[in-house]
Amino acid sequence: MENTNLKPVIRFPEFTENWKPNVLGKLENINFLKGKGISKADIVDDGKTECIRYGELYTIYDEVINKVYSKTNLPTSELVLSKVNDVIIPASGETQIDIATASCVLRDDIALSGDLNIIRSEINGVFLSYYLNNKKKKAIARLAQGSSVIHLYNPHLKTLKLNQPIPDEQKRIADFLTSVDGRITLLKEKKATLEAYKKGVLQKIFNQEIRFKDVNGNDFPDWEEKMLGEVLNYEQPTKYIVESIEYDNSFETPVLTAGKSFLLGYTDETENIFTNVPVIIFDDFTMANQFVTFPFKVKSSAMKILKNDITKSNIVFVYAAMEMVYYPKGDEHKRFWISEYSKIKIPFPSLSEQIKIASYLTALDDKIDSLQQKIDASLDFKKGLLQKMFV
Protein backbone atom coordinates (compact mmCIF):
# COMPACT_ATOMS: atom_id res chain seq x y z
CA MET A 1 0.00 0.00 0.00
CA GLU A 2 1.36 3.39 -0.98
CA ASN A 3 2.40 5.64 1.88
CA THR A 4 0.27 8.80 1.74
CA ASN A 5 1.87 10.49 4.74
CA LEU A 6 5.03 11.66 3.04
CA LYS A 7 6.02 14.31 5.56
CA PRO A 8 9.31 14.51 7.51
CA VAL A 9 9.34 14.40 11.31
CA ILE A 10 11.26 17.68 11.56
CA ARG A 11 10.04 20.36 9.20
CA PHE A 12 9.99 24.12 8.76
CA PRO A 13 6.49 25.32 9.73
CA GLU A 14 5.76 27.15 6.49
CA PHE A 15 5.65 23.82 4.61
CA THR A 16 2.76 21.42 5.13
CA GLU A 17 2.08 19.45 1.93
CA ASN A 18 3.24 15.90 1.27
CA TRP A 19 6.46 15.22 -0.53
CA LYS A 20 5.86 13.86 -4.03
CA PRO A 21 6.95 10.26 -4.74
CA ASN A 22 9.03 9.93 -7.88
CA VAL A 23 11.83 8.03 -9.58
CA LEU A 24 15.16 9.78 -10.11
CA GLY A 25 15.29 9.00 -13.81
CA LYS A 26 11.78 10.41 -14.35
CA LEU A 27 12.39 13.84 -12.86
CA GLU A 28 11.76 16.68 -15.30
CA ASN A 29 14.75 18.05 -17.20
CA ILE A 30 17.23 15.59 -15.73
CA ASN A 31 20.33 14.34 -17.51
CA PHE A 32 22.83 11.65 -16.52
CA LEU A 33 26.42 12.10 -17.66
CA LYS A 34 29.79 10.46 -17.08
CA GLY A 35 33.07 12.12 -16.20
CA LYS A 36 36.13 11.67 -18.39
CA GLY A 37 39.87 11.04 -17.99
CA ILE A 38 42.15 12.64 -15.35
CA SER A 39 44.51 10.10 -13.82
CA LYS A 40 46.59 10.75 -10.73
CA ALA A 41 49.54 11.53 -13.01
CA ASP A 42 47.51 14.31 -14.63
CA ILE A 43 47.26 16.26 -11.37
CA VAL A 44 49.77 19.12 -11.18
CA ASP A 45 50.20 21.99 -8.71
CA ASP A 46 50.30 24.67 -11.42
CA GLY A 47 47.43 23.31 -13.50
CA LYS A 48 45.12 25.73 -15.28
CA THR A 49 41.91 23.75 -14.83
CA GLU A 50 40.52 22.77 -11.45
CA CYS A 51 39.33 19.18 -11.30
CA ILE A 52 37.71 16.56 -9.08
CA ARG A 53 38.72 12.91 -9.15
CA TYR A 54 36.31 10.24 -7.94
CA GLY A 55 38.53 9.09 -5.05
CA GLU A 56 38.45 12.58 -3.57
CA LEU A 57 34.74 12.20 -2.84
CA TYR A 58 35.75 9.60 -0.24
CA THR A 59 38.63 11.57 1.27
CA ILE A 60 38.19 15.33 0.79
CA TYR A 61 34.66 16.41 -0.03
CA ASP A 62 31.34 16.36 1.80
CA GLU A 63 27.85 17.12 0.44
CA VAL A 64 28.78 20.58 -0.86
CA ILE A 65 31.80 21.45 -3.01
CA ASN A 66 32.72 25.13 -3.13
CA LYS A 67 36.49 24.83 -3.02
CA VAL A 68 38.41 22.49 -5.34
CA TYR A 69 41.85 21.18 -4.41
CA SER A 70 43.26 19.53 -7.55
CA LYS A 71 44.35 20.98 -10.91
CA THR A 72 45.28 19.62 -14.32
CA ASN A 73 46.71 20.90 -17.58
CA LEU A 74 44.74 18.51 -19.78
CA PRO A 75 43.01 20.33 -22.66
CA THR A 76 39.49 21.32 -21.67
CA SER A 77 38.28 19.94 -25.01
CA GLU A 78 39.12 16.47 -23.68
CA LEU A 79 37.31 16.96 -20.36
CA VAL A 80 33.78 17.00 -18.98
CA LEU A 81 33.19 20.30 -17.20
CA SER A 82 30.73 20.90 -14.40
CA LYS A 83 27.73 23.17 -14.26
CA VAL A 84 26.58 24.74 -11.00
CA ASN A 85 24.21 22.35 -9.17
CA ASP A 86 25.68 19.13 -10.64
CA VAL A 87 25.52 16.17 -8.24
CA ILE A 88 28.39 13.71 -8.58
CA ILE A 89 28.58 10.12 -7.27
CA PRO A 90 31.49 7.66 -7.65
CA ALA A 91 31.03 4.95 -10.24
CA SER A 92 33.36 2.54 -8.44
CA GLY A 93 34.52 1.86 -4.91
CA GLU A 94 35.51 -0.77 -2.37
CA THR A 95 32.17 -1.35 -0.64
CA GLN A 96 28.53 -0.91 -1.57
CA ILE A 97 27.78 1.43 1.31
CA ASP A 98 30.81 3.64 0.66
CA ILE A 99 29.97 4.12 -2.99
CA ALA A 100 26.73 5.86 -1.99
CA THR A 101 28.56 9.18 -1.62
CA ALA A 102 27.04 12.24 -3.29
CA SER A 103 28.42 15.79 -3.56
CA CYS A 104 26.97 18.90 -5.17
CA VAL A 105 29.38 21.02 -7.23
CA LEU A 106 28.53 24.69 -6.82
CA ARG A 107 30.90 25.99 -9.50
CA ASP A 108 30.98 25.96 -13.28
CA ASP A 109 33.81 24.57 -15.41
CA ILE A 110 35.33 22.15 -12.90
CA ALA A 111 36.72 19.11 -14.73
CA LEU A 112 35.02 15.91 -13.55
CA SER A 113 37.08 12.76 -13.88
CA GLY A 114 36.17 9.35 -15.20
CA ASP A 115 34.46 7.03 -12.71
CA LEU A 116 32.13 9.85 -11.72
CA ASN A 117 28.39 9.70 -12.34
CA ILE A 118 26.96 13.18 -12.95
CA ILE A 119 23.33 14.07 -12.25
CA ARG A 120 22.34 17.35 -13.89
CA SER A 121 18.81 18.47 -13.06
CA GLU A 122 16.59 21.30 -11.84
CA ILE A 123 16.21 19.78 -8.38
CA ASN A 124 18.29 21.58 -5.75
CA GLY A 125 21.65 19.79 -5.93
CA VAL A 126 22.62 20.52 -2.33
CA PHE A 127 19.30 19.13 -1.09
CA LEU A 128 19.72 16.09 -3.35
CA SER A 129 23.23 15.37 -2.07
CA TYR A 130 22.16 15.44 1.57
CA TYR A 131 19.12 13.34 0.72
CA LEU A 132 21.07 10.71 -1.21
CA ASN A 133 23.85 10.50 1.36
CA ASN A 134 21.47 9.89 4.21
CA LYS A 135 17.89 8.75 3.58
CA LYS A 136 18.81 6.96 0.34
CA LYS A 137 22.29 5.70 1.17
CA LYS A 138 21.24 2.08 1.73
CA ALA A 139 18.96 2.13 -1.32
CA ILE A 140 21.86 3.32 -3.50
CA ALA A 141 24.13 0.67 -1.98
CA ARG A 142 21.64 -2.02 -3.02
CA LEU A 143 21.81 -0.76 -6.61
CA ALA A 144 25.62 -1.14 -6.75
CA GLN A 145 27.07 -4.31 -8.27
CA GLY A 146 30.29 -6.30 -8.01
CA SER A 147 32.39 -8.10 -5.40
CA SER A 148 36.07 -7.11 -5.19
CA VAL A 149 35.32 -3.80 -6.94
CA ILE A 150 31.87 -2.27 -6.62
CA HIS A 151 30.33 -0.45 -9.59
CA LEU A 152 27.46 2.01 -9.71
CA TYR A 153 26.36 3.44 -13.04
CA ASN A 154 23.79 5.96 -14.20
CA PRO A 155 21.31 3.29 -15.40
CA HIS A 156 21.26 2.00 -11.81
CA LEU A 157 20.72 5.49 -10.40
CA LYS A 158 17.87 6.20 -12.78
CA THR A 159 15.77 3.53 -11.03
CA LEU A 160 16.17 5.06 -7.56
CA LYS A 161 12.86 5.91 -5.89
CA LEU A 162 12.73 9.16 -3.95
CA ASN A 163 10.33 11.66 -2.44
CA GLN A 164 10.52 15.24 -3.60
CA PRO A 165 9.44 18.40 -1.75
CA ILE A 166 8.63 21.62 -3.57
CA PRO A 167 11.62 23.76 -4.69
CA ASP A 168 11.21 26.29 -1.85
CA GLU A 169 11.41 23.55 0.78
CA GLN A 170 14.37 21.96 -0.97
CA LYS A 171 16.22 25.27 -0.76
CA ARG A 172 15.23 25.83 2.87
CA ILE A 173 16.57 22.40 3.86
CA ALA A 174 19.73 22.85 1.78
CA ASP A 175 20.46 26.29 3.26
CA PHE A 176 19.88 25.09 6.82
CA LEU A 177 22.08 21.98 6.53
CA THR A 178 24.77 24.01 4.78
CA SER A 179 24.82 26.42 7.73
CA VAL A 180 25.14 23.50 10.17
CA ASP A 181 28.07 22.14 8.15
CA GLY A 182 29.55 25.64 8.02
CA ARG A 183 29.72 25.71 11.81
CA ILE A 184 31.32 22.26 11.88
CA THR A 185 33.87 23.33 9.25
CA LEU A 186 34.71 26.46 11.24
CA LEU A 187 35.28 24.41 14.40
CA LYS A 188 37.48 21.96 12.48
CA GLU A 189 39.52 24.83 11.04
CA LYS A 190 40.00 26.33 14.50
CA LYS A 191 41.12 22.96 15.82
CA ALA A 192 43.54 22.47 12.89
CA THR A 193 44.96 25.96 13.43
CA LEU A 194 45.50 25.29 17.13
CA GLU A 195 47.10 21.91 16.39
CA ALA A 196 49.43 23.56 13.87
CA TYR A 197 50.28 26.22 16.45
CA LYS A 198 51.06 23.54 19.03
CA LYS A 199 53.29 21.72 16.55
CA GLY A 200 55.19 24.94 15.83
CA VAL A 201 55.56 25.68 19.55
CA LEU A 202 56.85 22.15 20.17
CA GLN A 203 59.50 22.55 17.49
CA LYS A 204 60.64 25.83 19.01
CA ILE A 205 60.66 24.37 22.53
CA PHE A 206 62.84 21.43 21.51
CA ASN A 207 65.08 23.69 19.43
CA GLN A 208 65.28 25.79 22.59
CA GLU A 209 64.12 28.87 20.74
CA ILE A 210 61.46 29.17 23.43
CA ARG A 211 62.62 28.96 27.05
CA PHE A 212 60.59 29.29 30.23
CA LYS A 213 61.53 31.17 33.41
CA ASP A 214 61.35 30.04 37.02
CA VAL A 215 59.03 31.63 39.61
CA ASN A 216 61.58 34.38 40.19
CA GLY A 217 61.89 35.19 36.50
CA ASN A 218 65.32 33.60 36.23
CA ASP A 219 66.57 31.25 33.53
CA PHE A 220 66.39 27.54 34.17
CA PRO A 221 69.62 25.49 33.92
CA ASP A 222 70.89 24.37 30.51
CA TRP A 223 69.30 21.29 29.02
CA GLU A 224 71.14 17.97 29.28
CA GLU A 225 71.07 15.12 26.79
CA LYS A 226 69.65 11.91 28.23
CA MET A 227 68.61 8.54 26.89
CA LEU A 228 64.93 7.68 27.11
CA GLY A 229 65.87 4.64 29.15
CA GLU A 230 67.25 6.96 31.85
CA VAL A 231 63.90 8.64 32.44
CA LEU A 232 61.46 5.84 31.59
CA ASN A 233 60.92 2.30 32.83
CA TYR A 234 58.80 -0.19 30.93
CA GLU A 235 56.60 -3.08 31.88
CA GLN A 236 55.24 -5.98 29.86
CA PRO A 237 51.47 -5.84 30.29
CA THR A 238 51.12 -9.64 30.59
CA LYS A 239 49.09 -9.66 33.80
CA TYR A 240 46.73 -6.99 32.47
CA ILE A 241 45.63 -8.96 29.38
CA VAL A 242 41.85 -9.23 28.99
CA GLU A 243 40.43 -12.77 28.96
CA SER A 244 37.22 -12.13 27.05
CA ILE A 245 36.90 -10.60 23.60
CA GLU A 246 33.27 -9.67 24.26
CA TYR A 247 33.55 -5.90 24.29
CA ASP A 248 30.60 -3.63 24.98
CA ASN A 249 30.38 0.14 25.38
CA SER A 250 28.15 -0.37 28.41
CA PHE A 251 31.11 -1.87 30.31
CA GLU A 252 33.50 0.36 32.23
CA THR A 253 37.09 -0.75 31.62
CA PRO A 254 38.78 0.26 28.32
CA VAL A 255 40.70 -2.44 26.43
CA LEU A 256 43.78 -1.20 24.56
CA THR A 257 45.73 -2.78 21.73
CA ALA A 258 48.87 -2.06 19.76
CA GLY A 259 48.79 -0.32 16.41
CA LYS A 260 46.27 2.09 14.94
CA SER A 261 43.12 0.69 16.56
CA PHE A 262 44.35 1.45 20.09
CA LEU A 263 40.96 1.37 21.87
CA LEU A 264 39.19 -1.89 21.07
CA GLY A 265 36.18 -1.43 23.34
CA TYR A 266 35.23 -1.97 26.96
CA THR A 267 35.19 -5.02 29.23
CA ASP A 268 33.37 -5.94 32.43
CA GLU A 269 36.45 -7.65 33.85
CA THR A 270 37.51 -6.11 37.17
CA GLU A 271 40.65 -8.11 38.00
CA ASN A 272 44.20 -7.02 37.12
CA ILE A 273 43.36 -3.57 35.79
CA PHE A 274 46.35 -1.27 35.29
CA THR A 275 45.66 1.76 37.48
CA ASN A 276 49.08 3.41 37.81
CA VAL A 277 48.34 6.18 35.31
CA PRO A 278 49.29 8.38 33.54
CA VAL A 279 51.62 6.27 31.37
CA ILE A 280 52.71 6.01 27.76
CA ILE A 281 51.70 3.00 25.68
CA PHE A 282 54.45 2.07 23.21
CA ASP A 283 54.03 -0.38 20.34
CA ASP A 284 57.49 -1.62 19.38
CA PHE A 285 56.31 -2.79 15.95
CA THR A 286 54.71 0.38 14.61
CA MET A 287 56.52 2.61 17.14
CA ALA A 288 53.22 4.36 17.83
CA ASN A 289 52.87 6.19 21.12
CA GLN A 290 49.70 6.86 23.09
CA PHE A 291 49.39 8.90 26.28
CA VAL A 292 46.97 7.19 28.68
CA THR A 293 45.37 8.84 31.70
CA PHE A 294 42.73 6.22 32.62
CA PRO A 295 42.82 2.67 34.08
CA PHE A 296 42.81 -0.05 31.42
CA LYS A 297 43.34 -3.64 30.37
CA VAL A 298 45.14 -4.76 27.20
CA LYS A 299 44.50 -7.17 24.34
CA SER A 300 48.03 -8.57 24.05
CA SER A 301 51.60 -8.11 25.16
CA ALA A 302 52.58 -6.58 21.80
CA MET A 303 52.92 -3.26 23.59
CA LYS A 304 54.91 -1.83 26.44
CA ILE A 305 53.72 0.30 29.35
CA LEU A 306 56.20 3.14 29.82
CA LYS A 307 56.35 4.71 33.28
CA ASN A 308 58.40 7.59 34.62
CA ASP A 309 59.98 8.39 37.97
CA ILE A 310 58.31 11.65 39.05
CA THR A 311 61.53 12.70 40.76
CA LYS A 312 63.35 12.59 37.42
CA SER A 313 60.88 13.53 34.70
CA ASN A 314 57.39 14.74 33.85
CA ILE A 315 55.44 12.19 31.82
CA VAL A 316 53.65 14.85 29.71
CA PHE A 317 56.98 16.37 28.72
CA VAL A 318 58.48 12.95 27.96
CA TYR A 319 55.53 12.07 25.73
CA ALA A 320 55.99 15.33 23.81
CA ALA A 321 59.70 14.54 23.48
CA MET A 322 58.94 11.08 22.09
CA GLU A 323 56.57 12.61 19.55
CA MET A 324 59.23 15.07 18.41
CA VAL A 325 62.27 12.82 18.32
CA TYR A 326 63.52 11.25 15.09
CA TYR A 327 64.08 7.52 15.19
CA PRO A 328 65.10 5.07 12.45
CA LYS A 329 62.28 3.06 10.89
CA GLY A 330 64.17 -0.06 9.82
CA ASP A 331 62.69 -2.45 7.28
CA GLU A 332 59.03 -3.33 7.56
CA HIS A 333 59.68 -6.87 8.77
CA LYS A 334 61.95 -5.93 11.67
CA ARG A 335 60.69 -4.83 15.04
CA PHE A 336 62.40 -1.81 16.53
CA TRP A 337 62.70 -3.17 20.05
CA ILE A 338 62.08 -1.00 23.10
CA SER A 339 65.65 -1.73 24.18
CA GLU A 340 66.89 0.10 21.07
CA TYR A 341 64.36 2.88 21.43
CA SER A 342 65.44 3.47 25.02
CA LYS A 343 68.96 4.34 23.82
CA ILE A 344 67.76 7.32 21.79
CA LYS A 345 69.14 10.54 23.20
CA ILE A 346 66.88 13.52 23.80
CA PRO A 347 67.72 16.94 25.24
CA PHE A 348 66.07 17.29 28.65
CA PRO A 349 65.56 20.45 30.73
CA SER A 350 65.43 20.44 34.50
CA LEU A 351 62.39 18.83 36.09
CA SER A 352 61.04 22.26 37.05
CA GLU A 353 61.19 23.46 33.44
CA GLN A 354 59.67 20.18 32.25
CA ILE A 355 56.71 20.83 34.54
CA LYS A 356 56.34 24.38 33.16
CA ILE A 357 56.44 23.08 29.60
CA ALA A 358 54.00 20.29 30.41
CA SER A 359 51.56 22.74 31.99
CA TYR A 360 51.67 24.93 28.87
CA LEU A 361 51.15 21.97 26.52
CA THR A 362 48.32 20.61 28.67
CA ALA A 363 46.54 23.97 28.45
CA LEU A 364 46.81 23.80 24.64
CA ASP A 365 45.56 20.20 24.63
CA ASP A 366 42.59 21.20 26.79
CA LYS A 367 41.62 23.86 24.21
CA ILE A 368 42.01 21.33 21.39
CA ASP A 369 39.92 18.77 23.31
CA SER A 370 37.25 21.41 23.95
CA LEU A 371 37.00 22.13 20.23
CA GLN A 372 36.79 18.41 19.47
CA GLN A 373 33.93 18.06 21.95
CA LYS A 374 32.09 20.89 20.19
CA ILE A 375 32.74 19.20 16.83
CA ASP A 376 31.40 15.88 18.14
CA ALA A 377 28.31 17.57 19.60
CA SER A 378 27.65 19.37 16.31
CA LEU A 379 28.06 16.13 14.34
CA ASP A 380 25.60 14.38 16.67
CA PHE A 381 23.16 17.27 16.23
CA LYS A 382 23.52 17.03 12.45
CA LYS A 383 23.06 13.25 12.52
CA GLY A 384 19.84 13.62 14.48
CA LEU A 385 18.55 16.21 12.03
CA LEU A 386 19.37 14.12 8.98
CA GLN A 387 17.44 11.15 10.37
CA LYS A 388 14.26 13.22 10.69
CA MET A 389 14.38 15.85 7.93
CA PHE A 390 13.91 13.48 4.99
CA VAL A 391 11.21 11.06 3.88
Contact 136, 162 (CB under 8 A): yes
- Domain around 327: 224-348
The answer to whether position 217 is within a domain reads: no
CA 170 to CA 128: how far, in whole Å? 8
The answer on 286 and 199 residing in a single domain is no
The answer on 105 and 176 residing in a single domain is no
The answer on 191 and 106 residing in a single domain is no
Contact 72, 49 (CB under 8 A): yes
First to last CA, the chain: 16
The answer on 133 and 74 residing in a single domain is yes
The count of domains in the chain is 3
The answer to whether position 215 is within a domain reads: no
The answer on 149 and 44 residing in a single domain is yes
Q: pLDDT tens string for the chain (391 positions)?
A: 455 689 999 999 999 999 999 999 999 899 999 999 899 999 999 999 999 999 999 999 999 999 999 999 999 999 999 999 999 999 998 888 888 899 999 999 999 999 999 999 999 999 999 999 999 999 999 999 987 889 999 999 999 999 999 999 999 999 999 999 999 999 999 999 999 999 999 999 999 999 999 999 999 999 999 998 899 998 999 999 999 888 988 999 999 987 767 899 999 999 999 999 999 988 776 777 889 999 999 998 888 899 998 998 999 999 999 888 755 554 444 556 677 778 888 889 999 999 999 999 999 999 999 999 999 999 999 999 999 999 9
Rounded alpha-carbon distances, angstroms, from residue 68 to 138, 234, 309, 336: 28, 47, 50, 41
The answer on 261 and 230 residing in a single domain is yes
CA 6 to CA 264: how far, in whole Å? 41
